[in-house]
Amino acid sequence: MYGLSREEFRFALLIGSSHFTQHAYYRLLPPLIPVLAVVLAYPLWQLGLLISLYQLSSGIAQAPMGVLADRVDRRYLLPTGLALTGAAYIVFAAAPILGEQIPAATVLGYGFEGDFLIMSLAMMIVGIGLSVVHPAGYPMITDNVSDANKGKLFGIFGASSKLGDAAIPAAIAVLILLFRWEQIILLFGVIGLLYGIGLFLVLGGERYETVPAGQQRTETQAVSSETPRDRRTFLYPMTAVYLFFISSMLTTRGLNSFLPAFLVAVYAYSLQIGGVAVGAESIANVFFAVLLLSGALMQLVLGGMADSHSPRRLIIYCMTLATVGTVALATVDLHPLLLLFVIVILGTGLYGVNPPRDALISDLSPPEYEGRAFGYIFTAAMVTAAPLPTVIGYVLEAVGMREGFLLLAAGPILAALCIALLYSDRIYIEKPDPTVETSD
């Protein structure tokens, strides 16, 4: 983090903790699904519905949260969303008790018990609470660090999310040995509620800029900002970025959903440690963790590079690595060490890309509309990509694991082409900046 001032580094840790928390709470329920299936005797499709509900509500809510993030002091918005998430998980943990007072419902011929209805409502609230982090967090980074260090902050922000993704399954693996499922969720619910309150106090006690840029402008600036803009400075390039999101998500959603299954089916690596057999499923999840952790590490590196290199070039380089890694994974019989190397390449390409991607979106967005720009792009991408795991799963079953993963290589290729469009002055012209000379 060379080059950050002490104040910027403190802010980086603070805003990074919010992204860590968001992704940790995104990942809280899936590791508990096997336990819930046994204890509650719900079919897997109903438990999967709980996950779909918070993913869908989070995706839809990010656009309106983006509008609020450009109008409301983010000191009130960001902590409230995370505290609301914690409160919703407390309700989820109490669902077996609260559900006794709720009559069962029948939808399309399927029965839903009262406790499941409470859980469903809680998961929708979780999604809404977590939806505030992107549209509030990104513009707060822009407002609280210098332009020369913004990429580094995006790197810390993005790396924190991957650490949150990896930390929760490991924590659940330990806690499930000591506590019941509802006690675990209650614990995380209380922590989330207290974190939201603490974040509010810290944002108020420190001299961080939380007021949206649009609320700080002078009257002259407000008038000038209403002049017509060339569509090539925002609309056209943001459309290309949206297409980049969808294309790259073809591969990231495929790996997130099916990489462990692919590794078990194709490689089935296992080993013995001190007389204890470590099965193929465990080894596959170790490789999956490496994928996430390598992405987290490379986001720190590429975040710093985004401050001095063209984000477009970095994105294309990342997509090239992702293509090579996906093709190698699908077509070559890899020794465990080579497989580990390929997994690191995939993590670098697919997840390391986030800081230059976010820097590009930030550069395209007018300061007074940065919150809604991030909100809109994440809502559009997440809602559009929601069916991808189902489609990818069907393709893998129809054509086979290797052939299906080879098709996933089309994702980063198309994503790179989308960013390459931004080199055409018919699609993108940079906003003039008299203080910066670019060689891109």
Residue 149 in this model has a pLDDT that exceeds 90: yes
Cβ burial, residue 249 (10 Å; 0-12/13-18/19+): buried
Question: What confidence tier does 439 reach under pLDDT thresholds 50, 70, 90?
Answer: very low
**40-53 pLDDT per residue, tens:** 888 877 888 888 88
List residues bridging with 272 in a β-sheet.
Answer: 277
For residue 408, the model assigns a pLDDT of: 96
Instruction: Name the phi and psi angles at 225, rounded to 5.
Output: -70, -15
Rounded to whole angstroms, the Cα distance separating 127 from 116 reads 17
Instruction: Give dist(CA 169, CA 184) in Å, integer.
Output: 12
Cβ within 8 Å of residue 181, ≥6 positions away? 32, 35, 36, 39
Q: Look up the pTM and report it.
A: 0.85
Alpha carbon distance 363, 427 (integer Å): 15
> For residue 362, which of 227, 215, 253, 213 has the smallest C-alpha distance?
213
Find the largest Cα–Cα distance for the chain. 75
The pLDDT tens digits for 264-312 are 889 988 888 777 787 887 788 788 889 989 999 999 999 999 999 999 9
Q: Which residue has the tokens 């805003």?
A: 15
Where do we find the tokens 């983006």? Answer: 66
Distances (CA, A) of 81 to 77, 127, 440: 6, 9, 39
Strands 110-112 and 105-107: antiparallel
Based on C-alpha coordinates, what's the Rg of the chain? 22
* E strands present in 228-383: 271-273, 276-278
Say how far apart CA 162 and CA 164 lie, in whole Å.
5
- Specify the DSSP element, H or E, that contains 171: helix 150-175
Mean pLDDT of 15-24: 96
Q: What local confidence, expressed as pLDDT, does residue 438 receive?
A: 47
- pLDDT tens-digit readout, 392-403: 888 888 999 999
Mean pLDDT comparison of 33-47, 371-385, 400-414, highest-scoring range: 400-414
Cα separation, 379 vs 373, whole angstroms = 10
Element spanning 105, H or E = strand 105-107
List strand residue ranges (DSSP E) for 267-421, in order.
Answer: 271-273, 276-278
Count of beta carbons in the 10 Å neighbourhood of residue 179: 13
